[in-house]
Amino acid sequence: MNLSRAVSRPEDTSSWHNINEKMKFRHLLSITIALLGSNSTFSQSTNEYVNYFSNNAFGNPIVGKAGEHYKGVTYVAYQGEKEDSYVAAYHHETRKWIGPYKAGTSLLGKTPGMKIDNHGKPTLVVDGEGYIHVVFGGHGGTKDLGENTLGNYFKGKQIHVKTKKPMDISSWEVVDNITPFGTYSQFLKMDNGDIYLIFRHGAHRSNWVYQISKDNGRTFTPKVSFLDAKPTEEDVNDWDSWYIDLARGEGNDILVSYNYHFCKSSKKGHDGERHHGYFMKLDTDSKEWFNVKGEKLAIPVTKEQADTMTLVKNTGDLWNHIGKVGLSKDGLPRVSWYEGEHDGSKHGGPKQLVGYQWTGSQWIGSRSNLPIEARGEIRAISIDSVSYLLGSMQQNMGEVAWWHGVDGGVNFSKGEVLLKHNGEKITLSHFIRNSHPDAMILATQKIKGTDYSKIFLLGENGAIERTKNEADILEIE
């Protein structure tokens, strides 16, 4: 065991939000005594296993593209103490955990008493040479960082870090080669090794853009806008804005589903109002965008073009939050979102998953019988068959389970349960890139009475275990 790693901390070990100001290190004592071959009681404690690998995940700690399996090791990133970026790894052959190590320091999360921002969660990718890259920390950036020509400012800074050595997460360095104005940053890697960094270029009133690295993250191409944020046609004080989900498609296609955010002015009471579902795709070979019918799109796509050429469903007054996009085995896209009531004062009310499948000529779909507020990943099989891996509350317990539908996604039956844990609802990342069967997805569950979460790595047989002394980085009284 790497004793120093088991107790590594950020430089400032102060905590807030119902956590004792000083972190406890009693688990260090038990590890030390066990290593010295002392008291058998401590030895038993050292060998106690838990189904989470860390408990220092902070706030809403995981973004979609947060992990990758590479040469027998699964690497995962999450938001830890004070919204900084952390990375852990699991070696499948030796069944050993490595880390977590702090990969980088965010500008967010450093003001005591401030609400947790959660927009700068880390996205991770492994390049063709085995270096691990993480981008994190952005929520629009600030004016002192320069001029944002594609959006507006808010706070934080989008930061790129990479490991100093291939496949070694113990030491990191900053790579100053991306814009500071990103948020919701996501890495996608293509079969030819091209790495796409996709993000919103600023706060709410900002374009969505992508950049490409063809040299393992050393440099990135200029930004390309693909969704346009602009004043609405009805009132220049209100703006058209967007939220998106991404997935690999056939060949070198990137699939994008998105919904519309009506970004009201502060005078009208800005809130999270969102509507409608849309779909389009990027052919990364030609760098051209197309709708589901194969018709070419002009980018950046505006609200008007989105409504006429990429609309899956007009939800009317109903609010929705973007779900997942996927591709069935017959090559047809499927999109989902979480749709609620039209009462804006309740932020859309309880959200029920709605799924739509492209048949080759039209979008078909409807509300399902899946649990209210369940969120997770999609695995489309055919027009009639679809499965979701969802985190939800079941009988007052957080649960991660497969749900299978065979009638186009209207009625589902519960399948395999991968995790059931006392406490709150469990949230999930996207499926891990090139995933190992034992490590498909990240899951987190908030620790009651705190702003921290336990974080799990789940595979076909459930969670990968770890010794409690290694997993309990943060000890809660």
- CA trace torsion 55, 56, 59, 65 (10° rounding): -90
Rounded to an integer, what distance in angstroms lies between the CA atom of residue 246 and that of residue 241? 17
436 near 411, Cβ under 8 Å?
A: no
For residue 343, give the DSSP letter. Answer: -
Spatial contact of 319 and 340, defined as CB atoms under 8 Å apart? yes
> Tokens at residue 387, please?
């499965």
> What does residue 44 show for φ and ψ, rounded to 5 degrees?
-65, -40
Report the alpha-carbon distance of residue 378 to residue 365 in Å, rounded.
14
Residues 6+ positions from 16 with CB-CB distance below 8 Å: 112, 113, 451
Distance CA 77, CA 68 (A): 9
- Show the CA angle centred on residue 297, arms to residues 293 and 302, nearest 5°: 120
* In contact, 97 and 69? CB cutoff 8 Å: no
119 is catalytic: yes
Active-site pick, 52, 70, 86, 119? 119
Separation of alpha carbons 294 and 312, rounded Å = 14
Pick the catalytic residue from 70, 184, 210, 356: 184
Which residues on neighbouring strands pair with residue 179, listed in sequence order?
none
User: DSSP state, 27?
Assistant: H
Distances (CA, A) of 197 to 146, 190, 216, 401: 20, 11, 12, 30
Residue 260 sits at the vertex; the CA angle it makes with 259 and 262, to the nearest 5 degrees, is 150
For the chain, the straight-line distance linking the first and the last C-alpha, in angstroms and rounded, comes to 26
| Token pair listed for 72 | 């027998």
Let me know: does 150 contact 181? Beta carbons within 8 Å. yes
Which residues does the annotation mark as catalytic? 119, 184
